[in-house]
A and B are shown apart, each in its own frame.
Chain A
Amino acid sequence: GENVEQHPSTLSVQEGDSAVIKCTYSDSASNYFPWYKQELGKRPQLIIDIRSNVGEKKDQRIAVTLNKTAKHFSLHITETQPEDSAVYFCAASGNTGKLIFGQGTTLQVKP
């Protein structure tokens, strides 16, 4: 069935370091891959997304890469700041409307 595996479950970095979160999806029909940031007690916020016809996308300190062959996609955050601390979720979707979410990664950025 449809499944998205996300690693690591927790990640602690020093301020200024880079953080990488990786996801693997099972459904080869998946063609849309968004990433959400959820701060404690707040709504999930879309931070970046990528479609299957693109291999990489950047937005300031955030980038996402997609390897369709391996069914892997990753989130890269450079020059991390304390306000980047949150739970990050990857998701995958085919033409079904539904997002299949990973289990989440708790990122802690230490000042």
Chain B
Amino acid sequence: EAGVTQSPTHLIKTRGQQATLRCSPISGHTSVYWYQQALGLGLQFLLWYDEGEERNRGNFPPRFSGRQFPNYSSELNVNALELEDSALYLCASSKGQYNQPQHFGDGTRLSIL
């Protein structure tokens, strides 16, 4: 069974630019979650999508947004990039809703210069 796949592996941007990160869930999973893992700050919940709808959002500004496509893949968009957005962005997927095991991808390392 193929795991969660994320692209690109690395992304380098400058302040003010926009970044798009992509995630393909495990086959059969309908929920996709996004987390930010910044150095020294652990994993912080960003967004949860299920069946194409945004179900929950973490304490991040509106310039962090995303969507889920009919095939359950997802995009995370970050606008007006700031230096502190430099982090590893992890995508996870699960079956259905509510407290199903979440399985992570390898992440996208976003570096802001």
Q: How far is the CA of A99 from the CA of B43 in the complex (A)?
A: 9
Instruction: Count CB-based A-B contacts (< 8 Å).
Output: 53
Give the bracket for the number of chain B residues in contact with chain A.
20 to 34
Q: Taking A101-B42, A103-B42, A104-B42 as contacts, is the C-beta distance between A96 and B56 under 8 angstroms?
A: yes
User: How far does the alpha carbon of A20 sit from the alpha carbon of B103 in the complex, in Å?
Assistant: 24
Whether B43 contacts A97 by the Cβ 8 Å rule is no
Residue in chain A with minimal CB distance to B57:
A98
Q: Per-position contact with B for A29-67: 1 when CB-CB < 8 Å, else 0?
A: 001101010000011111001010000000000000000
Encode contact with A along B1-42: 1 for CB under 8 Å, 0 otherwise.
000100000000000000000000000000101010000001
- Which B residues have a C-beta under 8 Å from some C-beta of A? 4, 31, 33, 35, 42-45, 48, 50, 55-56, 58, 90, 97-99, 101-107
Give 17 new A-B contacts, CB below 8 A, not counting A97-B98, A98-B56: A32-B99, A36-B104, A44-B90, A44-B104, A46-B102, A51-B99, A95-B99, A97-B31, A97-B55, A97-B56, A98-B33, A98-B58, A99-B35, A99-B45, A102-B42, A103-B42, A104-B42
> A interface vs B, CB < 8 Å?
31-32, 34, 36, 42-46, 49, 51, 89, 91, 93, 95-104
Closest 6 CB pairs of A and B: A32-B99, A98-B45, A97-B48, A101-B43, A43-B104, A44-B104
